[in-house]
Every structure is written in C-alpha cells, then in structure tokens.
Amino acid sequence: MTTLWFATLAFATPVPADAPVPAVVAPAVPAEGAPAEGTPTEANPAPDAVPADAADDLANEVARLKAENAALRGERAAAEPRVTIGEDLLIAAGEVVEDAVVVGADLRVEGTVLGDATSVGGKLVVGPQGSVAGDAVALFGGVTVEDGGSIAGDRVDVIADGFNVDVGDALPASAAGSLVRDATQALGALAGGLLSMVTWLGLGLLIVGLMPERVGRIGAAAERAPLSTALVGALSFAGLGTLSILIAAVTLGLGLPVSFLLWAALASAWLLGSVALCTLVGQRLDATRLAGSRWLAFVAGSVVWWLATEVPWLGWVAWTMLSCVSLGASLRSGWGTR
C-alpha cells in the first residue's frame, strides 16, 4: 500500500511551467548515394582487407604448386633406378630416374635424379641441365658441378690421392655438422692409407716372390756403398727427368713417347729398389727370424720405411734419402741383373 501511495503522489505532482523540456535528437540520415557509417572506402579501407589481385595471384600460385606436386609424385612413381658396373652412365636431358649408381666408371647427369647419385671408382659430373634431389657421392673419383647444375642434398667427395676427403658445403654449419665432417675426414684418411698400404704390400710381395735374385742383388748394391748409391740415384733422377722434359719440348711434343719411356724406366727402377731396400732392412732387424723369410722381411722393412717417413718435419727428408738409395742401387745393379 505504501508503494502504491508514493506512485500516485508522483504522477499527481504538477510540472512547473518554466521547467526545461529535454530535446529529442533524431538519428542522422546519410545523403542519397553516400556510404553508410562504418563502410570501408578508398580513403578509409578496412584494416585487414586483401586486394582482389593479390587474392587471385595467391589462388593461382596454390593451384600451380598443387599441380607441380602431383607431377612430381607421378614422376617418382614412374622413375626407375639406373645401375651400371664397368660402363659409363649418362642421364640424358629430360630423363628422370629414381637413383643412379655406377661402379668402376663415370656418371654424368644431364637430366633429373630424384634420389641419390653415386659413383664408385669414377667421376660424377652434374651438367648444366642436371639436378640431383638427393646426395651426390663419389668415392675415389671426384664430384664436379658445372654452371647451371644443382645438388639439393649433401656433396661427398672422397679422393684417395693424398688421403684427402672433400665434403661439400651442404653439411650444416653446426656442432653436429662439424662432427660429421671430422668423422668423414678421419674415415677417408684411414681408407686412403689402408688402400695405399695394401697396394704397396701386394706389389712388393709379388716382386719378392717372382724376382728374389734381383731383389737380393739390388739390396747388396745398396748395402755395399749407401752414400755413393744415393748420389747416383739423385743424379739419375735429376738428369733423366730433365732430359725427358727437354726431349718433349725440343720435338714439340713428338718426343713424348720417349719421355714417357724414360719416366717409366725411372719408376720401375725405383719400385724394384724400394722393395729390395725394405727387404734388406727387414733382414737386418732380426737375422734369426726374418732372414729366412723374404716376405716377412719385406713387410717388416716396409713398416720401418713408413715410420721413418711419418716423422714430423723430417719425414720428407727420410723419404728422399731412401728413394735415392733405392733408385741408385737398382740402376747400379742393372735392375738387379748383375
């Protein structure tokens, strides 16, 4: 009841004549043809608006990438690996293969290799139009990338000459990449050293087994007068080497066969002399155990030769002296015939 009484009293109270009347403001109506309030215009574009041309370009690019992806999937499904042994392999321009592997020959890529390209005992060349999506690996051959060619993966080039390993710039410049690079270099050095040692021991044992008398005569010549024998070797190398160069130069290349024969004679004399000297050194190490076995004597002497040439700063001096003695002894004995 109290609430009803107050409400009746409020409506019954008269309003003074001079009381202000609140103004009623009608909403603004835009002129005909003008954009409504909040509509983006050229002067005031929407903050996140994308131009129509850019949207079209983006849609076209997405469609193109999808088409290329589908084409690559089709090429990979249709591509087959190529493998040859003892025969050069050419991936022609426009040709697409999964992987390319060559053993004992050269590999040239003018087309596309979707996987890895590997050459064992031969050269790997990526031509101007060639591309390798995976790794390019060459063992004892070398990797060459001509202008325009590309390798997406790692480039691994293991060269036996000088026991060097060349790993391309594809490895990441990080701690892991450094570890991989160091490990690859160590393995390459080990593989090169083992290959050279096995080759030397194989040739030496063959010579010792087939020509024991010649090996003995050359060793005796070296033991009788080592200093004069070394002098003969040094002079022979300098004189015959210079003579072969002069013959080739004076004859304008026509005398190259003669120069080649001179160098071949020096190489054969050095090889025979080195095997004989290693055998002699091995026999003198332990007369009771090694003297009766030419093969064991040669192996032991080869180890001594290798240790002497590995001494820091003095290894090259030791190698030069031993080589001069070997060459001189072989020449003085007539390649072991006297």
Percent of the chain with pLDDT over 90: 20
> In the predicted model, is pLDDT for residue 248 greater than 60?
yes
The Cα angle at residue 324 between residues 322 and 330, in degrees rounded to 5: 100
Residues 3-15: b if buried by 16+ CB within 10 A, e if exposed = eeeeeeeeeeeee
The side-by-side arrangement of strands in the sheet containing 96-97 is: 96-97, 112-113, 131-132, 150-151
For residues 265 and 239, what is the distance between their CA atoms, to the nearest angstrom? 13
Residues 317-334: b if buried by 16+ CB within 10 A, e if exposed = eebebbbbbbbbbbbbbe
Mean pLDDT of the chain: 76
pLDDT of residue 6: 42
More confident of the two residues 262 and 39 = 262
- Report the DSSP pairing between strands 112-113 and 131-132: parallel
> In the predicted model, is pLDDT for residue 164 greater than 50?
no
For residues 305 and 299, what is the distance between their CA atoms, to the nearest angstrom? 10
* Cα torsion 62, 64, 65, 71: sign: positive
Residue 123's Cβ-side half-sphere holds a number of Cα atoms within 13 Å equal to 7
In sequence order, which residues have a C-beta less than 8 Å from that of residue 184 and are 6 or more positions away?
156, 158, 165, 167
Q: Which of 22-36, 56-70, 153-167, 313-327 has the lowest mean pLDDT?
A: 22-36
For residues 109 and 89, what is the distance between their CA atoms, to the nearest angstrom? 8
More confident of the two residues 240 and 302 = 302
C-alpha dihedral over 173, 175, 176, 179, to 10 degrees?
Answer: 100
* Cα torsion 141, 146, 149, 154: sign: positive
CA 258 to chain centre: 38
In sequence order, which residues have a C-beta less than 8 Å from that of residue 310 and are 6 or more positions away?
none
What band does 241 get if pLDDT is binned at 50, 70 and 90?
Answer: confident
pLDDT of residue 52: 65
For residues 82 and 103, what is the distance between their CA atoms, to the nearest angstrom? 12
> Across residues 21-33, what is the average pLDDT?
51
> In the predicted model, is pLDDT for residue 146 greater than 80?
yes
> Across residues 6-19, what is the average pLDDT?
47
pLDDT of residue 189: 67
pLDDT of residue 38: 52
> Across residues 266-272, what is the average pLDDT?
92
98-132 tens-digit pLDDT? 888 888 789 999 999 988 898 887 889 999 999 99
- Report the DSSP pairing between strands 164-167 and 155-159: antiparallel
The side-by-side arrangement of strands in the sheet containing 155-159 is: 82-85, 100-103, 117-120, 136-139, 155-159, 164-167
Q: Which of 41-45, 130-134, 208-212, 262-266 has the lowest mean pLDDT?
A: 41-45
Does pTM top 0.85 for this prediction? no
CA 234 to chain centre: 38
- The values of phi and psi at residue 137, to 5°, are -125, 130
pLDDT of residue 111: 92
The two three-digit tokens of residue 313, written as one number: 């700063």
Q: Which residues pair with 102 in a beta bridge?
A: 84, 119
